[in-house]
Amino acid sequence: MTTTPEAVRRASPRSRRAATPPDPAKPLLPAAEPVRLLDPSGTPLRAPADYPEPPVEALVEMYRRMVVGRRFDVQATALTKQGRLAVYPSSRGQEACQVGAVLALRDTDWVFPTYRESMALVSRGIDPVEVLTLLRGDWHCGYDPAARHTAPQCTPLATQCVHAAGLAYGEAYQGRDTVALAFIGDGATSEGDFHEGVNFAAVFKAPVVYFVQNNRYAISVPLSRQTAAPSLAYKGVGYGVPSEQVDGNDPVAVLAVLTRAVEHARAGRGPFLVEAHTYRMEAHTNADDASRYRDGAEVEAWRDRDPVARLETYLRARGALDDATVAAVAEEAEAYAADLRTRMNTQPTVDPMSLFDHVYAEPTPQLVEQREQVRAELAAAQDEEGER
C-alpha cells in the first residue's frame, strides 16, 4: 500500500492528539485568577461551578463573627499600649480568612494556628483571655489544646505544618474523619518545614488543609522579595497537592473554597492547599512601624477592599441583614471588648519559680543551679523590701 502525502497530512493531527498523554498536573492547578464571588464593592459575581455559594445563614454568622473578631483585634492592640499585653500581631483586614477557616471546620477538627490567629481562636469560641495568655508573657498557651482541638499558637515559622500532617495522619490511621487545618503566612512558605509538611501529607494522604494567608509581607519583606512563584498556590502542585487561590478579602469566596478543601480532605483524598490573597492592615505587631517599608497609598487601596464592609453590603442587598441586626452585632462586639478589657485590667499572679517547671521531666544540673540563683535573688529582694 502506498501512502500519499495528503493521507499523512490528514491522519497526523488526530494521531498526534491521541499520542499526547493527559497533563497529570492539570487537575492540581489553581485557577489562573483568585476565585471571587463578590466584587470589591460587594456586588455578587457568578459563582464558579466548583464553588457554590454557602448558605445565607452561614454568611450572616460569618458577618457576626467578623465584626466581633475585628473589635477583639482593636481591643487587643489597645491593651498592648496600656501595658497589659506584651505583644499583639493584628489580623485586621484578614477577618474573612480568620473566620472563614473556622466556619469551614467542625468543632472536632483540629486547627494549627500561628501567632497571627488570635481572631480565629476567639471565633472558635475560646475565651479571649485564654487566647491572649501567651502574648501576655505566660509560659503556656492559656487553653487546653486537646479539649479545644486547637494547637498552641506557633511562633517558630512553619513548624505547625509538620505537626498538622502528623496529627491528621494519626487521626486517619485510627479511623476517624478528622481534618486538620494549618494556617501559614506567605513568608513562612519559604521555610523547610512547610515543604516537609506538605510533602509528608501528600505522600501519606493525610487530611490536612494548608491555608496560606498571603498578606503580602513577612514583617518588612514584601512578597516580591519572598518568591518568584506565579502564586503561592503553585507550591502545592509540585508535591502532588491540589491547590487553589482565592480573593482573601471576599468572605463568600473564602468560605466556599475552604469548604471544598475541607470536604476533599475529609473524603480521604489527601491534603489541599489554599492561598488567600489578603492584606495586613496594621503593622506586623505593635513593636513594628510599617510606615518605614510601605506607603500609605497601598494601605488605602486595600481599605477599599475591606472584607467586613463587603459582606455587609452584600447581605443587606440580599435582604439578609438589616439595621437592627447590624446594631445588635455592634453592641455584642462592644460588650465583648468591654468584658475583655475588665478581665485584662487585673495584675496576673504568676510565680516566677514556675519558669523552671515543665521544662524537663528531670531538670538538668544547669537548670537546678539557675533555679537556686533566682530563688536566692527573690529572697534577697524580699528582705530588702522588708527593711524599707
Ligand X SMILES: Cc1ncc(C[n+]2csc(CCOP(=O)(O)OP(=O)(O)O)c2C)c(N)n1
Q: Say if CB 40 and CB 310 are below 8 A apart.
A: yes
Q: Report helix, strand or coil for 231.
A: coil
Burial, 115: exposed, middle or buried (Cβ in 10 Å; 0-12, 13-18, 19+)?
Answer: buried
Nearer to ligand X, 155 or 382 (CB): 155
Stretch that binds ligand X, among 56-64, 133-141, 173-181, 214-222 (CB under 6 A): 214-222
Euclidean distance between CA atoms 103 and 318, whole angstroms: 21
- Residue 185 interacting with Mg ion (CB under 5 A): yes
- Residue 215 interacting with Mg ion (CB under 5 A): yes
Burial, 238: exposed, middle or buried (Cβ in 10 Å; 0-12, 13-18, 19+)?
Answer: middle
Beta-bridge mates of residue 272: 209
- Residue 189 interacting with Mg ion (CB under 5 A): no
Nearer to ligand X, 266 or 294 (CB): 294
Nearer to ligand X, 90 or 259 (CB): 90
Grid cell in block for residue 121: 481562636
- Which residues in 154-183 contact ligand X (CB under 6 A)? 155-157
Q: Which of 280, 305, 310, 336 is flagged as catalytic? A: 280
Q: Least distance from C-beta 220 to ligand X, angstroms?
A: 9
Q: Least distance from C-beta 178 to ligand X, angstroms?
A: 25
Write the DSSP symbol of residue 291: G
- Interaction partner, residue 71 (Mg ion, ligand X, none; CB < 5-8 Å by kind): none
Grid cell in block for residue 84: 497589659
Nearer to ligand X, 69 or 185 (CB): 185
The residue within the footprint of Mg ion, chosen from 73, 109, 171, 186 (CB under 5 A), is: 186
Euclidean distance between CA atoms 254 and 108, whole angstroms: 21
Residues 6+ apart with CB under 8 A from 172: 178, 205, 206, 207, 268
CA distances from 54 to 36, 37, 50, 171, 212 (A): 13, 11, 12, 27, 21
Known active-site residue 169: no
Euclidean distance between CA atoms 339 and 3, whole angstroms: 87
Q: Which helix (H) or strand (E) holds 217?
A: strand 217-218
Euclidean distance between CA atoms 23 and 221, whole angstroms: 35
- Interaction partner, residue 219 (ligand X, Mg ion, none; CB < 5-8 Å by kind): ligand X
Binding mask 16-55 for ligand X (x = CB under 6 A): ----------------------------------------
Binding mask 216-235 for Mg ion (x = CB under 5 A): --x-----------------
Work out the angle at residue 68's Cα, subtended by the Cα atoms of residues 66 and 72, and round it to the nearest 5 degrees. Answer: 110
- Interaction partner, residue 68 (ligand X, Mg ion, none; CB < 5-8 Å by kind): none
Largest CA distance in the chain: 116
The residue within the footprint of ligand X, chosen from 68, 202, 218, 311 (CB under 6 A), is: 218
Stretch that binds ligand X, among 58-66, 216-224, 311-319, 376-384 (CB under 6 A): 216-224
Q: Say if CB 124 and CB 102 are below 8 A apart.
A: yes
- Residue 215 interacting with ligand X (CB under 6 A): yes
Nearer to Mg ion, 285 or 325 (CB): 285
Nearer to ligand X, 169 or 194 (CB): 194
Q: What share of the chain is helix, strand, coil (3-state, %, to 5)?
A: 50, 10, 40
- Residue 113 interacting with ligand X (CB under 6 A): no
Binding mask 183-212 for ligand X (x = CB under 6 A): --xxxx------------------------
Known active-site residue 280: yes
Stretch that binds Mg ion, among 56-64, 84-92, 183-191, 284-292 (CB under 5 A): 183-191
Q: Least distance from C-beta 281 to Mg ion, angstroms?
A: 12
Known active-site residue 284: yes
Q: Give residue 88's identity as a one-letter amino acid code.
A: Y
Q: Least distance from C-beta 285 to ligand X, angstroms?
A: 8
DSSP-H helix ranges across 106-228: 118-123, 128-131, 145-148, 159-173, 192-203
Task: Give the residues lining the site for ligand X (CB under 6 A).
Answer: 116, 155-157, 185-188, 215, 217-219, 280, 284
Residues serving a catalytic function are 280, 284, 293
